[in-house]
Amino acid sequence: MKIYIFLVVLFAFSSQRAFSQTKTSNSFASIRMKIDSASVKDTMILFYYDNIVASRPTPKMKIQSILNTAGVYSFKLSNIASHGYLSIYKKGNENSKGLPRLMIDTYLIKQGDDVMITANKRNKGYRREINMGYLSSYRSLLYDNRPIYNLSFTGNGSLKYNLKFRIDTTILQKSNFIGEVDAKGVFINNEFYDQSRAISQQILSEHHSNLKDDVYYQLLADYLGILEFERLNNWANLSALRGTDPPLRLRASFSSYNDKLKANQTNIPGEYLTRSAYYAKSIAMYYYHFSSMSERFNIKDLSIGSTKEALEQIKVKYNGKLRDKILTFFLSRSNRLLGDQKLMASAKSVMKDPDCLKELKSLGIGNEKGSLAYNFKLVNEDDKIVQLSDFKNKVVFIDFWYTGCGNCVIYYQNVLKEIEHKYKDRKDIVFITVNIDKKKEQWIKSIDEGLYTTSEAINLNTGGVGINHDIISYYRVNAYPRPMLIGRDGRVFNNSPSDLKNGVIGLSKILDEALAK
């Protein structure tokens, strides 16, 4: 009898210990990576995110790995959330703006994942003509004239990685980009983004039986979010203002896009939409693009209203963490809104998510009207240091740009070139350009070409560090061109791109107001 009791107690203790170990191990994940022709000199970096509330989020975890004796890069993640996202890139492999060229970009990761990533060289690359932001990471992985790899994933939890890679590369190879809207501004059916969503749904449905529901719905939510985000951004940047009568086109776009949303209603449970790295961003862009366009053309009959009215609609229609994330993405798109203290207070009054509140607090630094301007120290073409304090008691107009930025060319040629000429004889205003090219020769060549700026302006560069300069983080510059205006008192006078990019007449009015102070 004593032996029996002892065995029962021992079994209970062992079971409890095993359960405890399982519970603890579930908060861990292991990612390994093997790359053809990897060098012992290469360092791979993994970023881990568990609550993405910014377009360029700060990783919760950053892990570096060098090649081990088995020729493998190894990453051990501890204390991670049930669902998160990871990105991987090779240290030193950044683009001209200083952004990492990601080999793995925002892949879903779960507790308990134990995945080996194998990158094998290919003989052929994928098509290049797809202009889609979230697929841009594959340019460093798959395209011609660079190392071309095919990714495969094995191990516990690897199916979701393989499916994402398959979906993305299928979109790259098979979808035909035919534009979002027709000549009248109406969103058309079965265009690139519709095709891409159909591809993602088909591939995920084929493997639904092998996926747990949480993974299946999370991937569906991610593709819904990223494809709508890309659709709206591409429309706003390329299609919205083409042709004659932009207000008429805007009304047609707004009506037809809402019809498309109704026709494509989703049955994805709310928890996955909330957790998604992309869904809240796509909703925010819907409200931002249509409301800001309504303001630009003084259209009063769209139900979305002005940007301030759109913000109030978000507060009413959504709730909880999803609302907080939408509000954060929405406000982060407009320095004018960030600088409106009453509006910010109104938004924050309903928000509870600590990550969202922290992000909004950081966004407000340096962006509010009247806040102290950053006393930058930047190099000019002759490698001499120029700083803001050199221009005391002067109005300072700053434009951020980079080589290859098409909108930067349009802004300079259509607005700034005429503005600089108009004020060229005034001694109390200076025009400064801040370029983020990492290669000096590229920057100098662009100045000489006269497309983005000319030698008549004070042309400065971030000194070869691209976007990793303090002035970029201080003003949260994440889109180009990005103009801003500093008053005679050394404080931000206007930091709203929509105000400062509102044509020659609109910008002249703001400059005159600053000069009159």
Residue 357 scores a pLDDT above 60: yes
DSSP-derived 3-state class of residue 154: strand
End-to-end, the C-alpha distance of the chain in Å comes to 95
The band of 371, judged by pLDDT with boundaries at 50, 70 and 90, is: confident
pLDDT tens column, 57-98: 889 999 999 999 999 999 999 999 999 999 999 998 877 667
Confidence of residue 339 (pLDDT cuts 50, 70, 90): low
pLDDT reported for residue 11:
43
Q: Give the pLDDT score at 156.
A: 97
What integer pLDDT is reported at residue 19 of this predicted model? Answer: 37
Q: pLDDT-based confidence at 148, cuts 50/70/90?
A: low
Bridge partner residues of 434 (DSSP) = 400, 460
pLDDT digits (tens, 9 = 90+) for 406-439: 889 999 999 999 999 999 999 999 999 999 999 9
**Kind of pairing, strands 429-435 and 43-49?**
unpaired
Average pLDDT over residues 340-360: 88
CB within 8 Å of 391: residues ≥ 6 apart: 430
Model confidence at 383, in pLDDT bands (50, 70, 90)? very high
**So what's the pLDDT on residue 133?**
56
In the chain the domains, ranked by start, together with CATH numbers, are: 377-516 (3.40.30.10)
Residue-level pLDDT at 15: 43
pLDDT single digits (tens) 5-57: 444 444 444 444 443 333 344 799 999 999 988 888 999 999 999 999 988 88
Give 252-258's long-range contacts (Cβ < 8 A, gap of 24+).
Answer: 252/181, 252/184, 252/185, 252/186, 253/181, 253/185, 253/186, 253/187, 253/290, 254/290, 254/302, 254/304, 256/181, 256/185, 256/186, 256/187, 257/187, 257/286, 257/290
pLDDT at 408: 92
Residue 342 or residue 285, greater confidence: 285
Confidence label for 496 from pLDDT (cuts 50, 70 and 90)? confident
- CA distances to 10, 13, 121 from 1, rounded to whole Å, are 14, 18, 65
Amino acid identity of residue 241, one-letter, is L
Taking alpha carbons only, the member of 271, 282, 158, 283 closest to residue 217 is 271
Q: What is the pLDDT of residues 264-283, one digit of tens each?
A: 888 999 999 999 999 999 99
Confidence class for position 303, pLDDT limits 50, 70, 90: very high
pLDDT of res. 145: 36
| Confidence bin at 144 (pLDDT 50/70/90) | very low
Residue of 173 and 347 predicted with greater confidence: 347
Please give the Cα distance from 161 to 173 (Å, whole number): 18
Residue 125 pLDDT: 52
Nearest alpha carbon to residue 71 among 119, 117, 116, 38: 38
Beta partners for 33? 73, 117
Is the confidence at residue 453, as pLDDT, over 80? yes
Please give the structure tokens belonging to residue 345. 């207070």
Predicted pLDDT at 345 = 84
